[in-house]
Amino acid sequence: MMKFHAITIFPGMFDSYFGESLFRRAAQKGIVSLRTYDLRDFTKERHRKVDDRPFGGGPGMVLQVAPIHAAVHSIEQGIARGAKKRRVRTILFSPRGKKFDAAMARRLSRYDDLILICGRYEGVDERVAEHIADEEVSIGDYVLSGGELPALVLMEAVSRFLPGFLGKEESLEEKNGSFPTYSRPETFYPAAARAGSRPKKKGWAVPKVLLSGDHQKIAEWRRRHGAGA
Would you count residue 152 as binding ligand SAM (CB under 6 A)? no
Would you count residue 147 as binding ligand SAM (CB under 6 A)? yes
Report strand pairing: 187-188 vs 204-205.
antiparallel
Would you count residue 156 as binding ligand SAM (CB under 6 A)? no
> In Å, how far are 4, 55, 74, 109, 133 from 42, measured between CA atoms?
18, 22, 9, 28, 17
Residue 160: CB minimum distance to ligand SAM, A: 19
Contacts 24+ apart (CB under 8 A), 25-31: 25/167, 26/159, 26/162, 26/164, 26/165, 29/164, 30/1, 31/1, 31/2, 31/159, 31/162, 31/163, 31/164, 31/165
Q: Looking at beta carbons only, is 119 or 222 nearer to ligand SAM?
A: 119
Give the three-state DSSP class for 99: strand
Would you count residue 146 as binding ligand SAM (CB under 6 A)? yes
Using CB under 6 A as the binding rule, the residues of this chain from 80 to 99 that contact ligand SAM are 93-96
Q: Looking at beta carbons only, is 52 or 122 nearer to ligand SAM?
A: 122
Q: Pick the stretch among 38-46, 119-127, 157-165, 183-191 that binds ligand SAM (CB under 6 A).
A: 119-127
Q: Looking at beta carbons only, is 33 or 138 nearer to ligand SAM?
A: 138
SS3 assignment for 136-170: EEECCCCCCCCCHHHHHHHHHHHHCCCCCCCCHHH
Using CB under 6 A as the binding rule, the residues of this chain from 125 to 144 that contact ligand SAM are 138-140, 142-144
Residue 103: CB minimum distance to ligand SAM, A: 17
Would you count residue 122 as binding ligand SAM (CB under 6 A)? yes
- Cβ(79)–Cβ(122) below 8 Å: no
- Cβ(106)–Cβ(161) below 8 Å: yes
Would you count residue 123 as binding ligand SAM (CB under 6 A)? yes
Q: Looking at beta carbons only, is 115 or 166 nearer to ligand SAM?
A: 115
For 207, which DSSP code? P
Would you count residue 59 as binding ligand SAM (CB under 6 A)? no
Residue 90 β-bridge partners: 115
**Total of residues contacting ligand SAM (CB under 6 A):** 20
> Which residues in this chain contact ligand SAM in the complex, by CB under 6 A?
93-96, 118-120, 122-124, 138-140, 142-147, 150
